[in-house]
Structure 1
């Protein structure tokens, strides 16, 4: 059997430029590549007729963070709450959650102040400009 390894985590967004600015400028992830993909093979693979995707790949350490904006755009998912089956979030390890959160501009939405869980992990959840959840944790 072929060995599997994580390559990327993908997040579909409405506005690639605005969301990329958050992940790059607020969270500090480096941009590895930006590109577009279209054509019959892409449309068939993603099961979206006549699809075009604009992509940004960011350096998430051991895994890439892929932001993708589709044309045509689909309908938005319901509000992202962590306790919904199928809910997703991006977890990013940081050295000091409090220091990262303290440096956020005022417009960055946090779910709460940093917390220490029963397992002893310090965490904070924030939303990117499109409402996607990002967990910051001291792993």
Structure 2
């Protein structure tokens, strides 16, 4: 059996260009590549009949973030964070408060930064599609 290694974290988005703009301009990640994938093999792999995808890979300080816009698009889901199947992506910063202050007002925050009982300061944001983003002091 081959050894596993981390490759990317993927998020499905409704409009790739809007999502790239958010992650590039608002969060400061670099776009590494953009590409499209289609065909029977792709449809079979993702288990979506007739699927094609537009992709963008971004460098999120050592994590490759993959954004993908599918055609056809599926139904929107917004599971609460404590429900099985819910997901989020997390990024560390030196100062959560300063990071949040530097964000454009248009970036949705679930709350103001909080310090948990374990001493971790964190805040959850949402991207334009409602994907959860945790920002914590690392």
**Same fold by TM-score, threshold 0.5 exceeded?**
yes
Match of 2:10 in 1: 10
Question: In 1, distance between residues paired with 2:44 and 2:79?
Answer: 27
Question: In 2, distance between residues paired with 1:60 and 1:102?
Answer: 20
Q: Is the 8 A contact 1:127 1:134 kept in 2?
A: yes
SS of equivalent to 1:35: strand
| RMSD (CA atoms) | 1.0
SS of equivalent to 1:43: helix
Match of 1:49 in 2: 49
Q: What TM-score do the two structures reach when normalised by structure 2?
A: 0.95
Give the aligned length. 138
Match of 1:30 in 2: 30
Q: Is the 8 A contact 2:107 2:125 kept in 1?
A: yes
1:27 and 1:95, CA in 2 relative to 1: closer, same or farther beyond 3 A?
A: same
Match of 1:125 in 2: 124
Match of 1:108 in 2: 107
Question: In 2, distance between residues paired with 1:60 and 1:104?
Answer: 16
Match of 1:95 in 2: 94
Q: What TM-score do the two structures reach when normalised by structure 1?
A: 0.95
The unaligned stretches of length 5 or more in structure 2 are none
Question: In 2, distance between residues paired with 1:18 and 1:45?
Answer: 26
Structure 1 consecutive aligned stretches of length 4 or more whose deviation exceeds 4 Å = none
